[in-house]
Amino acid sequence: MSDPSPSVTLWATYALTTGTLSVGLDATGYEVLSRIALALACAGWLGAVAHALLRLPRPAWRRASAAAHTWVAATGVTGAGFSAAGLQRPAAALLALAAPLWAVLLVAAAGERHGTVFLRCVATQSLAVLGATLAAAESVAWLAHAALTLFWLGLVLYCLALFRFEPRQVTEGLGDHWLLGGALAVSALAGARLLSAGGGRLYLWNDEDHAVLGRVTVTLLVLTGVCCVALFTAELFWPRRRYDGRRWATVFGAVGTATAALAVAAALDAPWLDVLGEALLWIAVAAWLGCTAWTATSARAGARTGRVRSRARR
């Protein structure tokens, strides 16, 4: 996720990952942990906004599309976390805030040829997740249909990004290449939320439409699992031990896979998948804790190095 505003992207990716974790924890019934994760996601979201405001006067910010796409995606999943907590007005406000920026970014050209090419898909599907979640909570049919449109558009954007993705990033990428699987995971999550919205108080899809959406969602989840196994295998053969902020995209891939599995299990009433999803969720929690510790350690090391250089120049 290299761009002219790495701090903005780091905060936004942290918010995206932590917000998705909050949604997953809520799905498993761990409400207290989910609310803690949601509060941390909000802190990351605000951190991204603060860094962005500081960089607005700089011309380089205009090219920082990766940070903006990530912020939109973080807004979507954070809003879904608010909706799961029963706070529909803040969730609706976040959707209204992110949607116009998403529309502007959609027509902007993606200048990167690495994992960042999938960010347009992630941002689109995150808004689909929020839209479907709000539609189910508030019984708003038009919002569910809008989310369905975003869902299909997100899949088109993923296919377009796949042609631009450089396969060598699987062995050379510094973390953001995991969006190859993370984008599939959030797409499966969006599909599951649409299925759940249609199965509640709203009558949204007929049997044929429901079957097609179900098959596509299950296929996305299977592809997510295959992709994550392949990416993890590449990590074993080509280990990257140096810390990089883009590692949060790797954690997002793990968290998104677990959350998507839980959502699909609930939508299709598959208890065995629910067990698998919860197991994957705790693995993702461990990865989140590890990356948090790694980030904090690297930040402290950088601060100490900066102070030493400052004293040496005197």
DSSP state for residue 168 in the 8-state scheme: T
Query: Mind listing the pLDDT tens digit for each residue in 233-271?
Result: 999 999 888 888 889 999 999 999 999 999 999 999 999
Q: Give the CATH number, domain containing residue 63.
A: 1.50.10.150
Structure tokens at 223: 């592809």
- Please give the pLDDT value at position 200: 61
Distance CA 214, CA 306 (A): 53
Question: Are the C-beta atoms of 285 and 259 separated by less than 8 Å?
Answer: no
Domain count, the chain: 1
* Residue 99 within any structural domain of the chain: yes
Distance CA 199, CA 203 (A): 7
Residue 81's pLDDT band (cuts 50, 70, 90): very high
* Residue 267 within any structural domain of the chain: yes
* Residue 305 within any structural domain of the chain: no
Question: Are the C-beta atoms of 284 and 251 separated by less than 8 Å?
Answer: yes
* Residue 313 within any structural domain of the chain: no
Domain containing 180 equals 6-295
Predicted structure pTM score: 0.89
Query: Mind listing the pLDDT tens digit for each residue in 83-134?
Result: 999 999 999 999 999 999 999 888 765 455 555 789 999 999 999 999 999 9
Amino acid present at 251: V
Measured CA to CA in angstroms, residue 86 lies from 134, 196, 305 at distances of 10, 16, 45
* Residue 309 within any structural domain of the chain: no
Amino acid present at 169: Q
* Residue 11 within any structural domain of the chain: yes
* Residue 205 within any structural domain of the chain: yes
* Residue 150 within any structural domain of the chain: yes
Rounded to the nearest integer, the mean pLDDT of the chain is 86
